[in-house]
Amino acid sequence: MGILKETLARKIEEHRPRTTRLLKEFGKVKLDEVTIAQALGGMRGIKSLVTDISYLDPFEGIRFRGHTIPETMEKLPKPPGAEMPYVEGHFYHLLTGELPTEEDVGLVNEQFTRRKHVPQYVFDTITGMGKDSHPMTMFSAGILSMQKESEFVKAYNAGTANRYNSWEFYYEDVMNCMAKLPEIGAFIYRYKYKDKMIPSSDDLDLGGDFAQMMGIDKPYDEVMRMYFIIHSDHESGNVSAHATHLVASALSDAYYALSAGINGLAGPLHGLANQEVLRWIQDVLEKMGGQIPSKEDLVKFCWDTLNSGQVIPGYGHAVLRKTDPRFTAQREFALKYLPEDPIFKLVSALYEVVPDVLMEHGRAKNPWPNVDAHSGCIQWYYGVREYDFYTVLFGIGRALGVLANIVWDRALGYPLERPKSVTTAMLETAAGITDQ
């Protein structure tokens, strides 16, 4: 057992009695009530999932293992001369709950390096789909193609996986899968839009290696460290995390589960919103003949979008009720590195007009920007202008959180997820409507 796995095993042993006690002694304590609006409204706000890896406060935003984004950025070890932490250290933090030392970061990096070789059949699967496939379809299929490597399935079939040790096999799958995702993502980019793949380097950290595989110079490595960290986790109820958790609850292995989560991330109301923001901005610029629109023009474009029945991408949130701190983190980066960039200026101008428009529109509960309102503009600045690729970047980051979560799901023995459904007639009865 490697040192990382040993640390995790210790943490799991320490944690298990808490879950066991809650279940045994306090299982009947009520956490919440469910209204008809919640049953019909996407289960918004119902407290029925448990994770200790991150928590989303509606006003403060995300905390990873108790740390806000600024605290996370400050406390995690960084490569020499870098402002953004090692992604490997963040993964260690998510997985174990402990802030890593430099040595711990090295252990994760070593694990990833040892496990990162991508089998040729993954590339063949992706290229076999043709360049006209969406990058998220390629990403999901690439992940799913590796399912035959699952250590959990081997153990399950051999009869050696049980309720107590299944997490160990999930851990192996999670580490093997996570190690390969940066190369798979960069391959999709280079295959679909550029001439040839750039091989992975063993001498770089995850963020640095990803930047060089994309073929983009510094400080893109910093962009990607920040990007993967801020996108990693957003508690358990978002579509990608929930889908991954749900599928894994059937003891489907990490490859099946992550592929499902990535499929959810590919929806325009979820991660795909980052491509939609750039698409919307390009549409605006096209209509303006390439000129930067005035605030009045922007207000008009927002209303045109709303009046045509579309959402304004990058704004609103199911839980957040203020500006997403992931938006703020990216905005601070942009103010430092690309303050004069025209797309950044447009994103900033939108930040000034969209909340007022949405408040006047009166539908969205949260008129403030989410993470996706900003992410494309930084990618665009560094030369990644193929905006249909942006959600793959979100997906590599999101994998860090959802994969850490399914290891813990198995460690704490979370069962098959199976909520109960009711019929419309049952809702009417509950509502006291009898004359239908």
Which amino acids are annotated catalytic? 270, 317, 372
Which positions from 268 to 297 touch ligand NMX by CB under 6 A, shown as an x/- string?
Answer: -xxx-x------------------------
Nearest alpha carbon to residue 396 among 150, 108, 177, 83: 177
- Write the DSSP string, 348-378: HHHHHHHHHHHHHHT--S--SB-THHHHHHH
- Residue 301's H or E segment, with its range, is helix 295-307
- Residue 264's H or E segment, with its range, is helix 254-265
Query: What are phi and psi for residue 310, nearest 5 degrees?
Result: -95, 160
Nearest alpha carbon to residue 244 among 55, 395, 47: 395
Which positions from 217 to 246 touch ligand MLT by CB under 6 A, shown as an x/- string?
Answer: -----------------x---x--------
Residue 60 and residue 235 in contact, taking contact as beta carbons nearer than 8 Å = no
116-155 binders of ligand NMX (CB under 6 A): none
Which positions from 353 to 382 touch ligand NMX by CB under 6 A, shown as an x/- string?
Answer: ----------xxxx---xxx----------
Conformation bin of residue 46: beta by default, left when phi > 0, alpha when psi is -120 to 50: beta
Contact pick of 259, 263, 370, 405 for ligand MLT (by CB under 6 A): 370
For ligand NMX, which stretch binds (CB under 6 A), given 134-142, 308-316, 340-348, 415-423? Answer: 308-316
Compute the distance between CA of residue 399 and CA of residue 271 in angstroms, rounded to an integer: 13
- Structure token digits, residue 124: 């063949």
Conformation bin of residue 42: beta by default, left when phi > 0, alpha when psi is -120 to 50: left
For ligand MLT, which stretch binds (CB under 6 A), given 114-122, 186-194, 246-254, 314-322? Answer: 314-322
318 near ligand MLT, rule: CB under 6 A: yes
Q: Is the peptide bond before 219 cis (omega within 30 degrees of 0)?
A: yes
313 near ligand NMX, rule: CB under 6 A: yes
314 near ligand NMX, rule: CB under 6 A: yes
To ligand MLT, the closest distance from the beta carbon of 317 in angstroms equals 6
For ligand NMX, which stretch binds (CB under 6 A), given 50-58, 212-220, 316-324, 399-407? Answer: 316-324
402 near ligand MLT, rule: CB under 6 A: no
Q: Which residues in this chain contact ligand MLT in the complex, by CB under 6 A? A: 234, 238, 317-319, 370-371
Q: Which residues in this chain contact ligand NMX in the complex, by CB under 6 A? A: 44, 269-271, 273, 306, 311-318, 363-366, 370-372
